[in-house]
């Protein structure tokens, strides 16, 4: 499958931007400015790479004493950021501050005042649009599925049993049958209830600083092929997209703050939680076939774009000559040298030739299966951060050309379905890999839970977080069972058995909820 013109333009623009940064670091300022302006013209001002290019141009012109020109570029950047990010975005606010500083430097207080008026007007318009958007969501007009607010079943269960136990304990005390055993068991249950109330108050009165910090760090994430995307549209809501389908869902961030502990401990056992892990490259799902949602500015995207460009040229080479290239210099005078975003060094992709007839233990299908699981083809060099390896397959039913690249952790880039990204071409045509990604909508509306913990803790803490209610109620069941062995009177036994039964029901319910789709 050939890339469309829009994809080619984006790849070429990305290459120009990379060359501009390299020229800037080498002190070639004029060349860097020219390449940056070309990037903006190719992609349009509202593209995220164009906005990065404009920010770089502002820095260059300011450092070289061209403050007037820097102000004009800043105004263009401000207009683009309002259209793409909104006036309240942190990047937009940073641009406004830079413009005000430039106005003071140029002695133009009237321009600074005009900018402040523009920001105020744009802010009011954005508030009006947000209000209308939420009104449309309530009326079912918007293009995003609305999350219905349902009664918290856990709160209703707690209230029901608390009212029943309260009347039972009053009856025991009035009849003179309250013993030390009942007081001990009831005291433990009361302590648990008080702890729950305290944690509930901590969680509900939280300003959710962790949510705000996550959005400030990066609001948009996607898989490397951009098929599945996450966009944090507010401090409490994320829009999940798979191809053309979208779903709005709440999200929570759990870090090391007491507010997060309170929310984590008092959430509903019936919530469907999709757990994500914060990593340097973005967000990673916590299940058997995890998707990696890369940040929009992740260096891994540069590697993938270079892979696409090599494959596009290799296909054109095949269609012209009837065979795939055996050396990189056959398809490019510059040998496709690129700057490795991790090592910051110029590198050249490796290219190997495999004749299937010469292999005794491997065939084409087994090589593909191994590569999709993150393996290597026979004789392939070790994977390292930012590398790109190419392979020409001969001796099979069809000539084939394979390309895969490496992330910062010396592993193959991860794709939408949790398998490694592999670009595969046969007979000069890109072969589309079928994905078995799960649908967005399931039996329950999901809640996306983001873990912001040190990486060394995630392996041990992830199972506990997913099954935390099972562990909590299971331990309470054991505690009440042990206490019941130290009491002998029938009424004491009855109270213990009621609490044991309640904990058993909640333990089984939480396990079932965690396993249900």
Question: What secondary structure, in 3-state letters, does 334-403 show?
Answer: CCCCEECCCCCCEECCEEEEEEHHHCCCCCHHHHHHHHHCCCCCCCCCCCCCCCEEEEEEECCCCCEEEE
246 has pLDDT over 80? yes
Q: How far apart are CA 476 and CA 486, in angstroms?
A: 16
pLDDT at 176: 43
Q: How far apart are CA 235 and CA 222, in angstroms?
A: 19
pLDDT digits (tens, 9 = 90+) for 8-41: 777 787 788 888 887 887 788 888 888 888 888 8
Mean pLDDT lowest among 136-140, 263-267, 312-316, 349-353:
136-140
pLDDT at 251: 86
pLDDT at 194: 60
Percent of the chain with pLDDT over 70: 71
Query: How wide is the angle at C-alpha 392 spanned by C-alphas 331 and 423, nearest 5°?
Result: 85
167 has pLDDT over 70? no
164-199 per-residue burial string, b: 16 or more CB within 10 A, e: under 16: ebeebbeebeeeeebbebbebbbeebeeeeeeeeeb
495 has pLDDT over 90? no
Radius of gyration, alpha carbons of the chain: 30
Mean pLDDT lowest among 34-38, 54-58, 328-332, 406-410:
328-332
Q: How far apart are CA 453 and CA 460, in angstroms?
A: 11
Is residue 139 within 8 Å of residue 118, measured between CB atoms?
no
Give CA separation, 478 vs 182, 263, 494, in Å. Answer: 17, 25, 16
Q: How far apart are CA 313 and CA 331, in angstroms?
A: 7
pLDDT at 258: 60
| pLDDT top residue among 201 and 492 | 492
Q: What is the mean pLDDT of residues 93-111?
A: 80
Q: What is the mean pLDDT of residues 486-503?
A: 76
DSSP 329: G
DSSP string, 241-253: EETTEEEEEEEEE
Q: What is the mean pLDDT of residues 423-439?
A: 76
Q: What is the mean pLDDT of residues 395-423?
A: 88
| pLDDT top residue among 349 and 141 | 349
Q: How far apart are CA 473 and CA 460, in angstroms?
A: 20
Reported confidence tier of residue 178, pLDDT bands at 50, 70, 90: very low
pLDDT at 424: 93
Mean pLDDT lowest among 121-125, 161-165, 465-469:
161-165
114 has pLDDT over 80? no
Q: How far apart are CA 392 and CA 256, in angstroms?
A: 49
pLDDT at 406: 93
Q: What is the mean pLDDT of residues 292-305?
A: 90
Helix ranges (H only) for 145-286 are: 153-175, 180-204, 209-217, 258-266
3-state class (DSSP) for residue 432: coil
pLDDT at 173: 46
330 has pLDDT over 80? no
pLDDT at 390: 93
pLDDT digits (tens, 9 = 90+) for 189-206: 666 666 555 555 544 444
293 has pLDDT over 50? yes
To the nearest 10°, the Cα dihedral for 224, 227, 232, 237? -140
Give CA separation, 413 vs 275, 348, 375, in Å. Answer: 21, 18, 11
Q: How far apart are CA 285 and CA 466, in angstroms?
A: 12
CA dihedral (372, 373, 376, 378) positive or negative: negative
């Amino acid at each position: 499958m050939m890339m469309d013109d829009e994809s080619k333009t984006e790849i070429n623009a990305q290459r120009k931007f990379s060359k501009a940064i390299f020229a800037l670091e080498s002190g070639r300022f004029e060349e860097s400015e020219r390449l940056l302006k070309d990037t903006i013209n190719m992609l349009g001002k509202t593209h995220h790479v164009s906005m990065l290019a404009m920010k770089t141009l502002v820095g260059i012109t300011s450092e070289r004493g061209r403050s007037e020109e820097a102000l004009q570029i800043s105004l263009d950047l401000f207009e683009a950021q309002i259209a793409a990010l909104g006036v309240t975005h942190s990047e937009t606010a940073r641009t406004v501050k830079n413009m005000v500083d430039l106005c003071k430097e140029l002695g133009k207080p009237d321009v600074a005042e005009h900018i402040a008026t523009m920001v105020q007007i744009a802010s009011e318009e954005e508030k009006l649009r947000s209000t209308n958007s939420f009104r449309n969501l309530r009326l079912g007009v918007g293009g995003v599925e609305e999350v219905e607010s349902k009664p918290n079943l856990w709160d209703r269960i707690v209230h029901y049993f608390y009212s029943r136990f309260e009347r039972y304990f009053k009856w025991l005390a009035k009849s003179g049958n309250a013993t030390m055993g009942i007081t001990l068991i009831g005291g433990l249950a009361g302590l648990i209830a008080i702890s729950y109330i305290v944690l509930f108050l901590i969680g509900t009165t939280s300003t959710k600083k962790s949510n705000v910090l996550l959005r400030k760090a990066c609001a948009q994430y996607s898989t490397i092929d951009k098929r599945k995307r996450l966009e944090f549209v507010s401090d409490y809501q994320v829009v999940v997209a798979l191809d053309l389908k979208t779903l709005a869902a709440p999200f929570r961030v759990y870090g090391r703050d007491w507010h997060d502990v309170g929310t984590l401990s008092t959430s509903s056992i019936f919530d469907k939680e999709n757990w994500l892990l914060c990593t340097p490259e973005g967000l990673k799902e916590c299940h058997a076939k995890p998707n990696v949602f890369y940040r929009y500015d992740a260096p891994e995207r540069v590697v993938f774009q270079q892979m696409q460009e090599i494959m596009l040229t290799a296909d054109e080479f095949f269609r012209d000559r009837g065979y795939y290239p055996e050396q990189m210099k056959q398809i490019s005078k510059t040998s496709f040298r690129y700057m490795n975003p991790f090592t910051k060094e110029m590198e050249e992709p490796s290219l190997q030739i495999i004749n299937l007839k010469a292999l005794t233990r491997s065939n084409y299908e087994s090589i593909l299966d191994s590569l999709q699981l993150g393996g290597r083809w026979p004789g392939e060099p070790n994977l390292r951060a930012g590398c790109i390896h190419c392979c020409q397959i001969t001796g099979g039913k069809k000539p084939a050309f394979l390309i895969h690249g490496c992330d910062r952790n010396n592993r193959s880039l991860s794709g939408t379905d949790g398998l490694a990204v592999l670009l595969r071409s046969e007979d000069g045509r890109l072969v589309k890999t079928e994905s078995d990604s799960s649908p967005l909508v399931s039996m329950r509306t999901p809640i996306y839970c983001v873990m912001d913990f040190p990486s060394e803790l995630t392996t041990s803490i992830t199972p506990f977080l997913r099954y935390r209610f099972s562990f909590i109620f299971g331990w309470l069941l054991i505690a009440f069972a042990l206490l019941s062995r130290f009491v002998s009177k029938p009424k004491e036994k009855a109270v213990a058995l009621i609490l044991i039964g309640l904990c058993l029901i909640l333990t089984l319910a939480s396990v079932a909820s965690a396993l249900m789709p």
